[in-house]
Structure 1
Amino acid sequence: MSIIRNNAEHGVRGLERTEAQARAAYDLWLARHRRGGGGGSRNGFIGEHERRFRVFWDNLKFVDAHNARADERGGFRLGMNRFADLTNGEFRATYLGTTPAGRGRRVGEAYRHDGVEALPDSVDWRDKGAVVAPVKNQGQCGAGGVREERAEQRLQRWIMDDAFAFIARNGGLDTEEDYPYTAMDGKCNLAKRSRKVVSIDGFEDVPENDELSLQKAVAHQPVSVAIDAGGREFQLYDSGVFTGRCGTNLDHGVVAVGYGTDAATGAAYWTVRNSWGPDWGENGYIRMERNVTARTGKCGIAMMASYPIKKGPNPKPSPPSPAPSPPQQCDRYSKCPAGTTCCCNYGIRNHCIVWGCCPVEGATCCKDHSTCCPKEYPVCNAKARTCSKSKNSPYNIRTPAAMHEVFRNNLIQSLL
């Protein structure tokens, strides 16, 4: 049961909560989403912890006020999800991309609706098994990703046409098992790029600003769409048919996997798979209002939709990948997986007692003993939580990586 729903059952409204009640809710939220707020989380510093609480409380008031109106009038609900300690500006800067530049479109005619053709009342590609992959978490990459039918794949750039063009030009993509998505910026593994298990023959764009054409396309297959996901209500969405405020500043790539009509309210909706993890929205999905007055569709969903074309067979299986690299030996007793860097979490004088594994190879271990920076951005700034190319360089990435603690080395056991 969520924090909001639990408090609603006890008659608590956000505008009436005392600070003590808000702090109790924040502690519950931290236990679920930050595991105590230590090592590498946003709440690792006392001052930052208090600032995050104030942001959380403000969002809590917003959520409870919205849900109170929903209780009276009906409609979608908000919740204190994992973005609840972020201002809307921080959320947009961290988890969303930028509006793509204008480009030529490859509009297909296969799904153009003539205005009279009958379409199925509802479609849900999640019922088709492997066609729709499970919801995953993109992390802090501003990329919604692209998933190909029958083989889940992700690309760092969310502009769908560019992604489809790469897949077709590359002759296919590898499997997730062999080349997993890491939710981190980095360099492509060219050896993995040459392994191809599933392919497409090309792609086409759905006629823009035409919800009926988009509906026809979704009736035949999942469709990649771009939306404006930067609103505060979208950030904190929990359930129901989303009718909240949003514009057409396309900043997020998602997948329309179906459509239907809500049985309780009669509201027409799109079923959209997001990439913010299964604990956001309705198990990682959002139902967005359909058949709106604006030709662009809700949040611009009809503006830039595209789909892959598959006619030929998949590539023949590639040779197996080379054997994995050996793990990194931190000291005599501790080691980290291949492709990571050993960093000391806790030491006495010049001897490390507890090691952590930075999730990138050749990284710089930051002095806070809980974060690290990739070799391309080796200068740590723990206070600003950035990694820079050099001291005073304007080129930086937003957040250092958190280290994963390895087993305590055997020296500790000998000291006990």
Structure 2
Amino acid sequence: MSSPEQWTHPEPRGGPAATAAAPTAEQVIAGLRATSEGGPELVQLLTPEGERVENAEFDRYVADVTAEDLRGLYRDMVLVRRVDREANALQRQGQLGIWVPLLGQEAAQIGAGRAMRPTDMAFPSYREHGVAWCKGVHPTELLGIFRGTDHGTWDSVETRFHPYTIVIGNQVLNAAGYAMGQRFDGKVGDADGEATMCFFGDGATSQGDVHEGFVWASVYDAPLVFFCQNNQWAISEPTERQTRLPLYQRARGYGFPGIRVDGNDVLATLAVSRWALDVCRQGNGPVLIEAFTYRMDAHTTTDDPTRYRLSDELEAWKLKDPIERVRVNLVRHEHAEQDFFDSVQAEADELAAELREFCFSMPEPPVGQMFDHVYAEASPLVAAQREEFLAYQAGFAGGEH
């Protein structure tokens, strides 16, 4: 594996990669199926058994991480998972219309989220509850989206966290435009520069919006980290139905570096994300990160994963649980006592109770709310539609049907 310094500038056309013999289709498919562990190119700093792995290229990006910081990352993942499980239960009880689980992807999201600075902008899809947590968005502010009462109540400018995007891959175009603006405004070029991070899944890489975003970010050297959470399943389609090569290798075709990291390793994800953001801040253009992880629950609460994947696969990935490996490391190296784990669990219980109480107490939105914020400025046409609709609703209140 080449060093981060070598990845700062893409290999020129006509280089060694251009003259290498192309693999056959059979070799490609065999290679994809052989990468269930992520392959030798996988960046990993913490094994599933909780052992620290030395990495000459990336150790320096987490050299400042203390035992207290590691406990903080553990706390983040535990709290975010509890929020996810509570919201999933609320949907099953009819309190939410739908929920999008992140179970198993906590390390990918917390590692990337904690790598970002307050000035960095994040563009999520609809599963980035952990990134929202890192950017200061309280879990209760997510509930309205899935209850159908609002589009998210947080301030995107203040938090630097864009609203959730339901249209698959569309956030990549939004992120590319924002990062281009950072470039045009001169907010890149040194270590204090800004950067943008865009999150999407492996299935989204088959959408045209993602590839269009790759093109624009590349040719304009936009400070944009494309963060692909490869959770192995695009709803019911496995990765080999999405690509003939590992996803991170697609970056080369657009002229910027790509890297694959163990998405169940919060320390490695933090290191690789910090490196990628630094590359962008310095004005070297975009980077693609493929976080190799696994979706341990359904795609959404409307999905039944037992129809398309084997239980043996799920059980194998449970052994790579992102939270457990940090817990084992903390215990093994005596960085945390049982009192710490108990306190985190108690905090998770309190957060779950707060989320549940908030959900039960959410007021019904006004009927005319759907007409609010359609445009940045008032529109006579929308105002007329609003009045007509409210008059129609008033007729039902009087018993007329």
Flag whether TM exceeds 0.5 (same fold). no
TM range (shorter): under 0.3
- Higher RCO structure, 1 or 2 (CA under 8 Å, sep 6+): 2
- TM-score, normalising length from structure 1? 0.25
Comparing both structures, which one devotes a greater share of its residues to helix? Answer: 2
- TM-score, normalising length from structure 2? 0.25
Which is higher, the Rg of structure 1 or of structure 2?
A: 1
